[in-house]
Structure formats: C-alpha cells, structure tokens
C-alpha cells in the first residue's frame, strides 16, 4: 500500500493512543523499579532471559510495524487493509509490541506487586485492539473478516508460526 493511501495527519486518536503508550510505561516503570526482586537463583536468571526475549519481540514488532503507515494511522482513516510484512501475520503488531513489553516488565523485575498493573494495561490494549477491529470491520466488511481468519490478533496466525 502506498503512503498516499493513508492520512499522515496526527488526529485525536493518534495523539490519545500515543499518550496511552507513554502513560502505560510512566506508571509501570517506577512501580517495577521500586518493587523489583534482587534474587540470584536459577529461576531469577531464567526469568530475566524470558524478559529479555519479550523485550526483543517488542523492538522487532514495533520496528517491523512502523515500516508501514498503517501502524500509526487511525483505523477510521485507513483506505485499505494493510496485508504486507508483519501485517500479513498479525493484525495489531504495535499493540502486541506494547503487550510484550508489559510482560517483559513482569519477568525482568520479578515483582508480583506490578502484576495487577500489567493485567490492567494488557486489558486496556486488548480493548483498543477490539475497538480498532470493530471500526475496520464496519468499514471493510467481509474483506476484513476474511483477513481476521488468516491472521492472529497479537500472535502470528495459522498455527502461530514464526514470521522471520
């Protein structure tokens, strides 16, 4: 899809979504830092490795999603369903990236006190994704429903195959 098929204006939806990402991490990071675990057991080591892996998925998904204007365009302004690159496997790669980073916080800081905050943040991002899907479904109908059948919401579709 060419760049002229998307509006590059920053409307209220784009600003609010960006503010939500910033708020997500402004709330979570201080809570995680103040309550982190300082263990040195084997499970702590494994937990940190899982956190690093999740954080790397955040970077990869975000980088690959932002190769396409659909990553930052409001669903009400999209003129065509993006089906290239990461969007050929995942419908919401930017939201998936944020969710992976939230989960990474849990594993990196190993604090049960941030569990509720992470769950609330993930629930919020899930609701945003469902809202975006309802807008896209309303705009593109059967074409979008067919796209849903071929892709995953946050994980690669069709058996959750790795996309790299």
CATH number at residue 97: 1.20.120.1630
Radius of gyration of the chain measured on its C-alpha atoms: 17
In a domain, residue 160? The reply is no
In a domain, residue 82? The reply is yes
pTM: 0.77
Cα-to-chain-centroid distance, residue 50: 17
In a domain, residue 156? The reply is no
Q: For residues 70 and 52, what is the distance between their CA atoms, to the nearest angstrom?
A: 27
In a domain, residue 41? The reply is yes
Q: Which of 162, 18, 3, 155 is nearest to 91 (CA)?
A: 155
In a domain, residue 66? The reply is yes
Using a pLDDT cut of 90, give the percent of the chain over it. 45
> Looking at residue 50, what is its pLDDT?
95
Domains identified in the chain, total number: 1
The better pLDDT of the pair 142, 38 is held by 142
The better pLDDT of the pair 7, 126 is held by 126
**Whether residue 127 has pLDDT greater than 80:** yes
Which domain covers residue 103, as residue numbers? Answer: 3-150
Q: For residues 77 and 95, what is the distance between their CA atoms, to the nearest angstrom?
A: 18
In a domain, residue 163? The reply is no
> Looking at residue 164, what is its pLDDT?
35
Residues 90-104 have pLDDT tens digits of 999 999 999 999 999
- The mean-pLDDT minimum among 7-21, 33-47, 128-142 falls in 7-21
In a domain, residue 34? The reply is yes
In a domain, residue 61? The reply is yes
């Amino acid at each position: 899809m060419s760049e002229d098929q998307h509006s590059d204006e920053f409307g209220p939806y784009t600003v609010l979504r960006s503010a939500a990402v910033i708020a997500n991490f402004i709330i979570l990071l201080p809570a995680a830092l103040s309550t982190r675990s300082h263990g040195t057991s084997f499970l702590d080591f494994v937990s940190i490795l899982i956190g690093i892996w999740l954080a790397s998925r955040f970077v990869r998904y975000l980088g690959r999603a932002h190769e396409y204007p659909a990553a930052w365009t409001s669903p009400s302004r999209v003129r065509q369903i993006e089906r290239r690159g990461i969007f050929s496997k995942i419908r919401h790669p930017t939201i998936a990236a944020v969710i992976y980073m939230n989960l990474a916080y849990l594993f990196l800081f190993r604090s049960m006190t941030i569990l509720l905050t992470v769950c609330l943040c993930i629930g919020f991002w899930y609701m945003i994704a469902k809202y975006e899907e309802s807008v896209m479904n309303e705009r593109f109908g059967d074409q979008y429903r067919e796209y849903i059948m071929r892709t995953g919401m946050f994980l690669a579709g069709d058996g959750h195959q790795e996309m790299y």
